[in-house]
């Protein structure tokens, strides 16, 4: 049994993760952490997740539950995640990170922990999205140099704070890498006013924020006469939560290293 703690347990993903751990025969819910000072401290995490009492009280710090868990699942915010990563490295824990929106310096800081603990870091934990990344590699190799324009379009709910989504950026990176392009050089994140005709090598991004959309991503390969679209649509956060619990069980048996969802799924 993998003993899992969830930080940000009162959040949208946190509550869904409680459900996913409860449904998993190989995992047990060992703790939940809310923001320090939260009015939800001490609440039963099962009740926060709409499951009724589970006998696990929401703590305000990782210190308070340090002896109870083996793997931490963290879907919070970049600064919080980096502090939790340091805690896990110092206390012999493992970590699964789903937080997105880390900037370059924060990614470099995260990379610095690669040899200090086993961690899975993935901007999207869904099995379907990770398979989609493989399909994109194949499509980009076959089409990229044949005059196809590549655009990434994503849509998320109105509460999402980072843009484009971590998944959209990952899709752009996979396509760019498959084509020997650099996303920093060829990524176009905004088109306003007289921006001129399209550079054939650019990889464009468009973002929709509206209502309660859980997460939709399309990569379009368009040329004169035809258009191919590879689309993934998530209809429930449970797909990310189940992937994260699977990653937690997997990382419990790994050596130190930074792993991706592709490693977890053997893709």
- Active-site residue set: 156, 160
Alpha-carbon distances of 7 from 12, 14, 83, 228, rounded to whole Å: 12, 7, 12, 40
DSSP 198: P
Separation CA 35–CA 16 (nearest Å)? 17
Tokens 């088109």 appear where? 191
Residue span binding ligand NAD (CB under 6 A) among the ranges 12-20, 108-116, 169-177, 200-208: 12-20
CA-closest candidate to residue 102, choices 210, 258, 232: 258
Nearer to ligand NAD, 8 or 144 (CB): 8
CB-wise, 149 or 189, nearer to ligand NAD? Answer: 189
In sequence order, the 6+-apart residues with CB closer than 8 A to the CB of 2 are: 26, 27, 28, 70, 71, 248, 249, 252
Footprint of ligand NAD on residues 196-255 (CB under 6 A)?
A: 240
- Examine residue 8 and tell whether it contacts ligand NAD (CB under 6 A): yes
Smallest gap from Cβ 240 to ligand NAD, in A, equals 4
**Interacting span for ligand NAD (CB under 6 A) from 4-12, 44-52, 197-205, 247-255:** 4-12
Minimum Å distance from CB 210 to ligand NAD? 15
Helix axes 127-143, 166-178, angle to 10 degrees: 30
The contact mask relative to ligand NAD for 96-115 (x = CB under 6 A, - = no) is --xxxx--------------
* Helices 78-90, 104-111: crossing angle, 10 deg rounding: 10
Q: Judged by CB under 6 A, does residue 130 bind ligand NAD?
A: no
Residue 48, classed as helix, strand or coil, is: helix
Q: How far is the CB of 227 from ligand NAD (least distance, A)?
A: 28
The contact mask relative to ligand NAD for 57-86 (x = CB under 6 A, - = no) is ------------------xxx--x------
Q: CA neighbours within 13 Å on the CB side: how many for 254?
A: 24
Record the tokens describing residue 187, joined without a space: 């990524």
Residue 238 neighbours by CB distance under 10 Å:
16
**Tokens found for residue 195:** 């921006």
State the pairing for strand pair 215-223/149-156: antiparallel
Work out whether 7 is an interface residue with ligand NAD (CB under 6 A).
Answer: yes
For ligand NAD (CB under 6 A), the number of binding residues is 23
| Choice from 125, 174, 245, 252 touching ligand NAD (CB under 6 A) | 125
Choose the stretch contacting ligand NAD; rule: CB under 6 A; options: 9-17, 43-51, 205-213, 248-256.
9-17
Residues in region 145-174 near ligand NAD by CB under 6 A: none
> Residue 36 or residue 225: which is nearer to ligand NAD going by CB?
36
Q: Helix, strand or coil for residue 37?
A: coil
CB nearer ligand NAD, residue 35 or residue 154: 35
Give the residues lining the site for ligand NAD (CB under 6 A).
7-8, 10-14, 33-35, 75-77, 80, 98-101, 122-125, 240
């Amino acid at each position: 049994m993998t003993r899992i703690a969830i930080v940000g347990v009162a959040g949208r993903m946190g509550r869904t993760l409680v459900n996913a751990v409860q449904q998993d025969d190989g995992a047990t819910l060992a703790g939940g952490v809310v923001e320090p000072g939260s009015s939800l401290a001490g609440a039963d995490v099962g009740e926060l997740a709409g499951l009724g009492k589970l006998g696990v009280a929401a703590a305000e710090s990782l210190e308070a539950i340090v002896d109870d868990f083996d793997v931490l699942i963290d879907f919070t915010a970049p600064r919080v995640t980096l502090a939790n990563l340091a805690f896990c490295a110092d206390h012999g824990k493992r970590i699964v990170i789903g937080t997105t929106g880390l900037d370059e310096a924060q990614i470099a800081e995260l990379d610095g922990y690669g040899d200090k603990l086993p961690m899975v870091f993935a901007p999207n934990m869904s099995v379907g999205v990770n398979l989609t990344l493989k399909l994109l590699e194949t499509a980009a190799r076959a089409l990229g140099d044949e005059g196809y324009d590549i655009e990434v379009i994503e849509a998320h709910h109105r509460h999402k704070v980072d843009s484009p989504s971590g998944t959209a950026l990952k899709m752009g990176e996979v396509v760019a890498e498959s084509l020997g392009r650099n996303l920093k050089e060829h990524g176009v994140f905004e088109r306003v006013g007289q921006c001129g005709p399209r550079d054939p090598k650019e990889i464009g991004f468009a973002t929709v924020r509206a209502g309660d959309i859980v997460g939709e991503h399309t990569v379009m390969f368009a040329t004169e006469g035809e258009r191919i679209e590879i689309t993934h649509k998530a209809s429930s956060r449970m797909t990310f939560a189940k992937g994260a619990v699977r990653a937690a069980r997997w990382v419990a048996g790994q050596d130190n290293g930074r792993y991706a969802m592709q490693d977890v799924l053997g893709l």
